[in-house]
Amino acid sequence: MIRFDKVTKTYPGQKRPALDALDLEIEKGEFVFLVGASGSGKSTFLRLILRETTPTTGRVYVAGKEINKLSSWKVPKLRRQVGTVFQDFRLLPNKTVSENVAFALQVIGKSRSEIAKVVPETLEMVGLEGKGHRMPDELSGGEQQRVAVARAFVNRPMILIADEPTGNLDPATSVGIMKLLDRINRTDTTVVMATHDSTIVDQMRKRVIELEGGLIVRDEARGIYGYQN
Ligand SMILES: Nc1ncnc2c1ncn2[C@@H]1O[C@H](COP(=O)(O)OP(=O)(O)OP(=O)(O)O)[C@@H](O)[C@H]1O
């Protein structure tokens, strides 16, 4: 589903690469935690999958396509297949919960009737039934993140990328969000999650890839967090 072939990324003006000759494969339906100290290259890795940045050398493949060869007009199509969830939720503040989720479908041209059907189903799936009319600032942090997960998943992407999705949440709320991501993963969606949350990584025992200075220093099938923050 995702393949990195000797991927090096050196940002302009930097001497050391943010990612250094990375070779890696993530299969369809896997759940992968990306761990490592601040600056180890996690966000760069995720941004490469979304083609928000391009490798200096090497190739990135998503669903069999070398995405750096995609012409720019095909990039939106790639991004439709990759849902994203971030630490800071990134909801549209002037839209209701339902509108936030619906917007993801409107921009890709789904019909009104499909949107009317799918949005309530997805809100129910994330445990927000009855809250569709609320504004984001009328929700708790955990609820806002549920909206963000609903928005990322409403289009049934092949891949879900989560960059520190529990970073702003308390431990109990974080468990709820992880249960959701686990459920989404069970629908055969590939999940890649960058995190500093050792408790969650240790509880879930999924594949763990540790980066250090742009290199993979550990890749375990049912790993633990394994280092001190
Ligand atoms: N736009 C940029 N321009 C220059 N250097 C950058 C840029 N983005 C990241 N870097 C550098 O690349 C390296 C990897 O950064 P990256 O953001 O990928 O790390 P990270 O593991 O996601 O860190 P964090 O856990 O703090 O989010 C760091 O040395 C960082 O300073």
pLDDT at 157: 96
Query: What is the CA(146)–ligand 1 centre distance, in A?
Result: 27
pLDDT the model gives residue 180: 97
Q: Which residue has its alpha carbon closest to ligand 1 atom 7?
A: 11
Read off the pLDDT of residues 61-74 as tens digits, 9 standing for 90 and up.
999 999 988 888 98
Strand partners, 26: 2
Number of C-beta neighbours around residue 117 at 10 A = 12
Residue 144 near residue 175 (C-beta atoms within 8 A):
no
- For residue 28, the model assigns a pLDDT of 97
Ligand 1 atom with minimal separation from the 13 CA: 4
Neighbours of 28 (CB within 10 A): 12
Q: Rounded to the nearest 10 degrees, how much is the dihedral formed by the CA atoms of 67, 45, 76, 180?
A: 130
| 11 C-alpha to ligand 1 centroid (Å) | 9
Contact 183, 204 (CB under 8 A): no
pLDDT for 13 equals 95
Q: How far is the CA of 103 from the centre of ligand 1 (A)?
A: 30
Name the DSSP class of 229. Answer: -
Q: Residue 4: its pLDDT value, please? A: 98
pLDDT tens sequence across 171-187: 999 999 999 999 999 99
CA distances from 49 to 57, 128, 159, 203, 205 (A): 15, 29, 10, 26, 23
Q: What is the pLDDT along the chain (229 residues), one digit of tens a residue?
A: 999 999 999 999 999 999 999 999 999 999 999 999 999 999 999 999 999 999 999 999 999 999 988 888 988 888 899 999 999 999 999 999 999 999 999 999 999 999 999 999 999 999 999 999 999 999 999 999 999 999 999 999 999 999 999 999 999 999 999 999 999 999 999 999 999 999 999 999 999 999 999 999 999 999 999 877 6
Supply the pLDDT for residue 142: 96
pLDDT at 10: 98
For the CA of 211, the nearest atom of ligand 1: 21
Centre of ligand 1 from the C-alpha of residue 86, in Å: 16
Q: Looking at residue 183, what is its pLDDT?
A: 96
- Euclidean distance between CA atoms 19 and 6, whole angstroms: 10
Q: Whole-angstrom Cα distance, residue 11 to residue 7?
A: 13
pLDDT of residue 227: 74
- Residues 154 and 199: their CA atoms lie apart, in Å, by 28
Instruction: Confirm or reject: Cβ of 87 under 6 Å from ligand 1.
Output: no
The secondary structure element, H or E, covering residue 45 is helix 42-49
Q: Is the CB of 71 under 6 A from ligand 1?
A: no
